[in-house]
Chains A and B, each alone.
Chain A
Amino acid sequence: MNRRDSLKTLIIGTAGAGLATTLPGCRTDGTDSNAGNADPNKLSDAELSYLTPKELDKVQRLRDQTFFTEHELATITALAHVILPANEYGSVEDAKVPEFIEFRVKEEEAWQLPMRGGLAWLNREANTRFEKDFRDLTASQQIEIVDPLAGYDHKIAERDRTQPQQFFGLMRNLTAVGYYTSPVGIKDIGYQGNQPNVWDGVPDEVLAKHGVAYEPEWLAKCIDQDTRETVAAWDEKGNLIA
C-alpha cells in the first residue's frame, strides 16, 4: 500500500466512518446510488429535497409540460448518437441526453424556436435527399448530412453562422453537457473525485510528464496529512506546534 492508498484508508476509516450516516454512500465512482436515474423526470421528491419550495414548483411546472413531439425526440436521439456514439461506457440514451435536452429547452425558451426549426430542417434535408426521416437513415447517410454542418470557421461569430450550423452547434453542446454530466460520461472522462479524499499533491509521474516539480521550501509549509486528525495548537508567534 503506497502513501496515497494509505491516506485513502485513513479517511474512509476515520472521517469516513463518521460521515457514513450523512453522505449518500461514499461512492467510489459515478455509478453507485441513483446512477441509473439521470432522467430529470424521474428524480423523486426525496432526491430533490434540497430544492426550496419555489424551486420545486418550477421543476414540477416544467415536467408537466411537453415540448417536443415523439418524432422530434426520436430525431434528437438519432442526432445525439451521431454527435457522441455509444462506446463501452454506454450511450447517449443511457445518459438520458434526450430527456435532459427536453427539460432544458422547456426551461430556456430562447432555444425553442431554433431547436424546433433545426429539427424540421434536418428532416427536410433527409427526406429530400434520401426519402426518409433522419432517424431512419443509415449511419453513413446521417453523417453525410451532419458533416458539412459540424465544422466551422472560428473567426466567424456563432450568430453569423447558418441556421443549420447554429442548430447543430447547440445540439452538440447540449449533447456534450448531458452526456458528460451523466454516470456514463463521468466514467468515460475518467473523473475520480466527488468523494471523500485526502489531497496530498500531484503524483510524481504526472509532475514528470508535465515537466514541473514541487519546491522543497513550499512543500515544507504544507499539511502533513498524517497530522490532520491532531488538534492544532500554536505558540505565541503563530507557529504551529501541534
Chain B
Amino acid sequence: MQSNTNAKVYDAIIVGSGAGGGMATKILSEAGLNIAVVEAGPYFDPADPKTRTQLKWEFESPRRGASTRFRPFGDFDMAYGGWDIEGQPYTAAEGTEFYWFRSQMLGGRTNHWGRISLRFGPRDFKKKDFDGLGDNWPISYEDVKPFYDRIDKLLGVFGTNEGLPNDPDGYFLPPPKPRLHELFYIKGARASNVPVYPSRLSILTKKINNDRGVCYYCAQCSRSCNVYADFSASSCLVIPAMKSGQGQIDLYNDAMVREVTTDAQGKATGVVYVDRNERREYKLQAKTVVLAASACSSARILLNSKSPVHPDGLGNSSGLVGKYLHDSTGASRAAFIPALMDRDVTYNEDGVGGMHVYSPWWGDHSKLNFPRGYHIEVWGGMQRPSYGFGWNAGDMNQYLGLTTGSYGEGLRKDVRKFYGAVMGFGGRGEGIPREDNFCEIDPNKVDEYGIPVLRFNYKWSDYEIQQARHMQQTFEEITDNMGGHVLGEAKTAENDYGLEKPGKIIHEVGTTRMGDDPKTSVTTPFQALHDVPNVYVMDGGPIVQQGDKNCTWTILALSMRASEHLIDSLKRRDI
C-alpha cells in the first residue's frame, strides 16, 4: 500500500458538496454510513463573520463591489470561482463556445444561486411524446414527486398552489407581497395574456424548524444567508449533517479529485485527489463513490478514470459521458418605466433576494416556430446603490424628450428621478439536448494539478435562437403595455436576439444522462453507472432533459432518491 493511501475504507466517498453532494451527505450520514466528503474548495459557513458579506455596504469593498475575475458577480457574491479560474483552464473546439462556471467551496454554487426552486412537471419528463424531439426520461413525475414533497418541507420554499398542469403544487410557505414594479409587471404581462403568479424561491418567509432563521428581507441571497434563511447546501445540508453526528463524516477541503480508482474487475475502489495546498496526491478508499462535482466536473473525472477494464473512461462504454450537455436558454432586457419615476424613497423596498412574482411558461406550440418554453423572471425597485449605480444616469431623458448629459444639480435630480424606474426581465428556458453538444478531454492541456482539462463543443440551434426571439418580443410587448421603453441595443438576428452564450445561465446538465438502456445512457434511473454499479452520479449530469425550469430542486430530489437507493443496495450487498 502506498503511503499516500488512507487506510480507512469508507462506505461512501462523495465528491462535491453542492446541491447533489450536500443532499447525499445528509441522507447517507443519517443512515449511519461512514463517509468522506471531498470538496475542491475551502470550508465555508455562511454564518462565519470572517467570510460573511451579507449586509456589507459597497464602500466596504475597495472597488465598491465591482466584479473581478475572482467574483464575476462582484466582490460580495458568495461564489468563489467563476467562468475563468486561474490555473484551471478549459478549451472549446473551433467554431463552438461554452462558458463553464465553477464555484469551489463548501456548498458550491448553492451559496449564491437565485433560490428559484421549480419542480419539473409531468410533461417535462415526457416531452418527446409531445414534439418528437430529444428523449423522454426513463422515470416520470410520479417517481420524483414524493422526493420533491420531502425537500419542500425539509428545506423550505415559498410559493402558491395554483393547480397548473406542468408547474406542480407543493408544500409552500406563503410568498411575500409584490413590490411596486412587480405590480406594474403583473398588469403589463396580463395585458399580453402572460400569466403571473407568486414566485417559488427557497427562502424562509416563515420558520420551518428551530435551527434556521427567518428571512429578514435584505435582498442579498446571493451572499448566502448568515441566519440560514435561504437554502445553501453548506448551511442546510452539510454543516447540520456534520453536527448531528449520526454517521461519521470526514470532510476533505481543497481536495481536487482527479479520478475514480477501480480494481481488476472494474469495480470502483475509491478516488485519487490532489491536495491543493500541498500539491500532493492522495488516495481514499470506499465501497461506493458518489460523483456530485457538477455535471461537467463529474464527466471530466469519469473520462479521466481510464483503466484496462474501462479504456474509454469510467462508465463510458456507451461513449456518451459528456454528451447531451445542455444549459438553459437565457435572454434578458431592461426597460425604463416613466410611471415609476420620482419614487417615494421613505420606505425599504429590498424584499427577498430575487423576484416576488414570475411567469411560468404559457405558450401554445401550435402557434409558435420553436419547441419548448421558458419562464420569466423580473427585477427592479429601489435597490441598494451598487457598483454601476448612476452610470449614464441622464440617458433616459431621451425618452422624455429632454436633453441628455446633465451634471451638477441637474445630474443629482436625474439620479433621483430615475431611481427605481428601471426594471428588467429574464427569460430562462429549455433547449434541446443533442449528442453533438458535449464536453470531452482535451488531449493537449492539463490544469495546474496535472489533470487533463475539458474541451467543449457546443452550438445553439435555431430552436433556441427562435425561442430567444420570442422572449424579446414578449419583453417588448410587456414594456409597451406598461408605457415603458426597452433599453440597450436592439435584439436582432445579428446578435441571436440576445441569447446568452452556452453556459452563461449556469444550469448545465445532461452529461451522464439516465436511461434504461446502457447503450443510450450513462446512468441507471437510480443514477448508478450502468457499467459500474458502485458509482453514482448525483449532480445535474443524469438529467435527460431540462425543463422550462431551473434545475436545482430536481437535482436535490433526485439526489435524495438516488442516495436512498444506494443505501438499500449496500444493505442488500448488491454493490
- With both beta carbons as reference points, the residue of chain B lying nearest to A157 in the complex is identified as B489
Chain B residues lying within 8 Å of A182, measured Cβ to Cβ, are 59
> B404 to A152, Cβ gap below 8 A?
yes
Complex alpha-carbon distance, A183 and B352, angstroms: 23
> Which of A50, A173, A212, A231 contacts B184 (CB under 8 A)?
A212
Chain B residues lying within 8 Å of A193, measured Cβ to Cβ, are 218-219, 348-350, 382-384
Q: Does A196 contact B (CB under 8 A)?
A: yes
Chain A residues lying within 8 Å of B415, measured Cβ to Cβ, are 176, 180, 189
Interface-side segment among B2-10, B171-179, B445-453: B171-179
Q: Does B170 contact A (CB under 8 A)?
A: yes
Chain B residues lying within 8 Å of A180, measured Cβ to Cβ, are 385, 389-390, 415
> Which of B55, B172, B388, B392 contacts A194 (CB under 8 A)?
B55
Q: Does A30 contact B (CB under 8 A)?
A: yes
CB distance from B178 to the nearest CB of A (A): 7
Those of B189-220 within 8 Å (CB) of chain A: 198, 205-210, 213-214, 216-219
> Which of B68, B180, B216 contacts A197 (CB under 8 A)?
B216
> B409 to A85, Cβ gap below 8 A?
yes
Complex alpha-carbon distance, A212 and B65, angstroms: 34
- Known A-B contacts A152-B404, A154-B404, A221-B198; A234 and B70 likewise in contact (beta carbons under 8 Å): no
> B392 to A192, Cβ gap below 8 A?
no
Q: Does B386 contact A (CB under 8 A)?
A: yes
Q: Does A110 contact B (CB under 8 A)?
A: no
> A82 to B226, Cβ gap below 8 A?
no
CB distance from A199 to the nearest CB of B (A): 4
Those of A203-242 within 8 Å (CB) of chain B: 203, 205-207, 209-214, 218-219, 221-224, 227-232, 234, 238-240
Those of A81-139 within 8 Å (CB) of chain B: 82-85, 87, 96, 100, 103-104, 107
Chain B residues lying within 8 Å of A71, measured Cβ to Cβ, are none
Q: Does A163 contact B (CB under 8 A)?
A: no
Complex alpha-carbon distance, A154 and B176, angstroms: 39
> B384 to A191, Cβ gap below 8 A?
yes
Interface-side segment among B44-52, B130-138, B528-536: B44-52
Q: Does B58 contact A (CB under 8 A)?
A: yes
- With both beta carbons as reference points, the residue of chain B lying nearest to A79 in the complex is identified as B407
Chain B residues lying within 8 Å of A74, measured Cβ to Cβ, are none
- Known A-B contacts A47-B60, A240-B174; A151 and B403 likewise in contact (beta carbons under 8 Å): yes
Those of A27-68 within 8 Å (CB) of chain B: 27, 30, 34-35, 37-38, 40-41, 43, 47-52, 54-55, 58-59, 62-63
CB distance from B48 to the nearest CB of A (A): 9
Known contacts A84-B408, A189-B415, A205-B344; 16 additional CB pairs below 8 A are: A40-B61, A84-B411, A104-B63, A143-B408, A154-B404, A181-B64, A191-B345, A192-B346, A194-B57, A195-B218, A199-B217, A202-B183, A222-B198, A223-B173, A223-B205, A240-B172
Which residues of A are at the interface with B, using a C-beta cutoff of 8 A? Answer: 4, 11, 15-16, 18-19, 22-24, 27, 30, 34-35, 37-38, 40-41, 43, 47-52, 54-55, 58-59, 62-63, 82-85, 87, 96, 100, 103-104, 107, 143, 146, 150-154, 169, 172-173, 176-183, 185-186, 188-203, 205-207, 209-214, 218-219, 221-224, 227-232, 234, 238-240
